[in-house]
Structures are given as structure tokens and as C-alpha cells.
Structure 1
């Protein structure tokens, strides 16, 4: 059974690619997605923090562009 995503819920994917790791952060409510890369020997928590900060920045850029009436939880 599926459920509705909660506001602020973020999905993270880690994909090793050679000596790097690609981290993808996805906002569950909006589907907005960003990716970042880092060395494979970097702590997973550090890569996670970077990806989440990048996602939050992207969401705020979209909100600034679309104005205060835009609801980021709508598709």
C-alpha cells in the first residue's frame, strides 16, 4: 500500500561509479531532484549533507522564481 509523502521528506540514492559516488536527493512531495558527486572514500554522512543542502537551495530558487503564491508541494 502506498502512502502520501510527508512535507520535507527526502529520498537519497547512492551509486558508486568507479572511484566516485553519485548522490541523488529527491524531494518526495515535489519530485525535485539534484545530484552531486564525491570521492568514494568520503564519509556517506558528508555526501548526504551536501546533497540535501543542494536540494534545499534548488527548492528555494524555484520558490523565488515562481513567487510567493507558488506551492512547492503541487506537481
Structure 2
């Protein structure tokens, strides 16, 4: 899996739904797909980085390497709100 992560080839899709953006990321080798939803005001790079972190977590969990305390790190919030 480390070689897959370092290769960095993923399919990323952005779908705007009103004030939100759904970001889906697929690893073409394992066909693992994850999605997140974030505010439209967040930058595309920030949303993509969060989705990739989730993908790496899910892939690690499927491989048996993730523990409950290995949740993806979330950047500190500058605006009030809840990360879902």
C-alpha cells in the first residue's frame, strides 16, 4: 500500500450542491472510494487533501493497520462550525 500512496494517482471528482461541495476520491488500483462534503468556501486543495487523508485511512484500515486513534488529522478550525 505504501507504494500506491506514494504514486499519488487518484481519481478526484468535485460536485457542487448549493453551498456545499462533495468530493469523491477513488484509488484506481484497489477501487476504494471515499467521499466527503465540505463548504463551497473552502479551497479545492483543502477539500482534496481532506478526502485523500480519508482515503488513506480507509485503505490502511482495510489492510488491518488502522486503530481507532489513527483518525485522520483535521486542521484547526478558524471559523465556528462542526467538521462532519
Please report the TM-score for the alignment, with normalisation by the length of structure 2: 0.67
- Structure 1 unaligned blocks of 5 or more: 1-6, 66-75
Structural mapping, 1:11-50, within 5 Å: 11-50=11-50
The whole-number CA distance in structure 2 between the counterparts of 1:31 and 1:15 is 20
Structure 2 unaligned residues grouped into runs of 5+: 66-84
How many residues were matched structurally? Answer: 59
RMSD: 1.2
Deviation at 1:35, TM superposition (A): 0.2
- C-alpha displacement at 1:60, in angstroms? 0.3
Higher relative contact order (CA 8 A, sep 6+): 1
CA distance in 2, matches of 1:23, 1:59: 17
> Which residue of structure 2 aligns with residue 64 of structure 1?
64
Please state how far the C-alpha of 1:15 moved relative to its aligned partner: 0.1
| Runs of 4 or more consecutive aligned structure 1 residues displaced over 2 Å after TM superposition | none
Q: Which has the larger radius of gyration?
A: 1
